[in-house]
Amino acid sequence: MQIAFIGLGHMGGPMAINLHKAGHKVQAFDLATAACEHVKAAGVQIAASGEAAVKGAEVVISMLPASQHVEGLYLGRDGSGGLLAHIAKGTLVIDSSTIAAATSQKVAKAAQAAGLAFIDAPVSGGVGGAVAGTLTFMVGGSDADLERARPVLEKMGANIFHAGAIGAGQTAKICNNMLLAVLMIGTSEAMSLGVANGLDPKVLAEIMRRSSGGNWALEKYNPYPGVHENAPASKGYAGGFGTDLMLKDLGLSQENATAMRASTPLGGLARALYAAHSLAGHGAEDFSSIIKMVQKKG
């Protein structure tokens, strides 16, 4: 199958490489040269532009940072028309970025008006999951469009869930990430408290992992350096899932909670803490660096 892949960052890069390894003809594009180079080194063909990437594609996949990037890509920034105008009728468009459900619905409406199929398919599983091809996809869209996408998604993920109509994948994703932020802050507090008492971080992490506090951060993404060799915490908080991306997701969940008149006090506190952490200069670091806020210095 010929696939266009737009957005080759921490997640999109390994996802595009997995599609290439599975035998698909991938034409990839990113605005950043460095992101293209990394994917090119793995044998993926790099297109000169988004328009060139979608030429002849049966499926188009995007993996961009936020709502404004997805809307700008597909609909254009100045009303001049975006990428949708360059995609052949009948093509399936899969957006895997984490964005506002309302933006997914807006882009889907325009895609459908242009004779294209569209699903939102945000992911969970981190960079490790993207590299291993074990991501969880949360899909919003019709049954028929999901079944069309399934063979492609299966090359990048291990779990594919149909959350509901267009936008429902995004809603599931922001609920998950609100919980993840709260878990990461809680795990950071517990790790810091134990270490301040002289406990060995690896021993403490293993005790809590196998006890009632066990969670995903304790399983594979411990915020304390040295507990998990491959976690961003052990690599100076480089790579992984950026603090500013988590802040974006917490903004989405709080906007949604306001609109739904839902009570999410811990989500609100998590957003405030991540905003302060970003302002303190940690925006580009992995989100597990939030532990710095609660660690005893010296």
Are residues 208 and 218 in contact, defined by beta-carbon separation less than 8 angstroms?
yes
- Residue in 3, 5, 9, 228 binding ligand NAD, rule: CB under 6 A: 9
* x/- track of binding to ligand NAD for residues 124-143 (CB under 6 A): x-xx----------------
- Could you tell me if 241 and 286 are in contact, meaning their C-beta atoms sit under 8 angstroms apart? yes
The residue within the footprint of ligand NAD, chosen from 20, 27, 29, 91 (CB under 6 A), is: 29
Among this protein's residues, is 173 annotated catalytic?
yes
Residue 162 to residue 141: CA distance in whole angstroms = 8
**Contact range with ligand NAD by CB under 6 A, out of 9-17, 143-151, 185-193, 250-258:** 9-17
Tell me if 240 contacts ligand NAD by CB under 6 A. Answer: yes
CA 2 to chain centroid, in Å, comes to 23
Taking contact as CB under 6 A, which single stretch among the options 1-9, 103-111, 148-156, 160-168 is the one that binds ligand NAD?
A: 1-9
Rank residues 32 and 262 by Cβ distance to ligand NAD and give the closer one. 32
Round to whole Å and give the CA distance between 225 and 288: 10
Total number of residues binding ligand NAD (CB under 6 A)? 28
Site string for ligand NAD, 44-83 (x = CB under 6 A): ------x------------xxx---x--xx----------
Residues in the chain, overall count: 298
Question: Which CB sits closer to ligand NAD, 28 or 204?
Answer: 28
Q: Which member of 3, 6, 39, 87 binds ligand NAD (CB under 6 A)?
A: 6
From candidates 5, 237, 241, 274, binder to ligand NAD by CB under 6 A? 241
Catalytic residue among 173, 202, 248, 297: 173
Site for ligand NAD in 243-282 (CB under 6 A): 245
- Which runs of consecutive H residues, i.e. helices, occur in the chain? 12-21, 33-41, 50-54, 67-75, 101-113, 126-132, 143-153, 168-196, 201-209, 216-220, 243-260, 265-277
Contact by Cβ (8 Å): 223, 193: no
Using CA atoms, how far apart are residues 219 and 103, in angstroms rounded to an integer? 33
Orientation angle between helical segments 12-21 and 33-41, nearest 10 degrees? 30
CB of 246 to ligand NAD, least distance (A): 8
Residue 97 binds ligand NAD (CB under 6 A): yes
**What is the distance between the alpha carbons of residues 87 and 110, in angstroms, rounded to a whole number?**
12
Residue 170 within binding range of ligand NAD, rule CB under 6 A: no
The phi and psi torsions of 279 (rounded to 5 degrees) equal: -65, -30
Amino acid code (one letter) for 164: G
Binding interface with ligand NAD (CB under 6 A): 6-12, 29-32, 35, 50, 63-65, 69, 72-73, 97-98, 123-124, 126-127, 240-241, 245
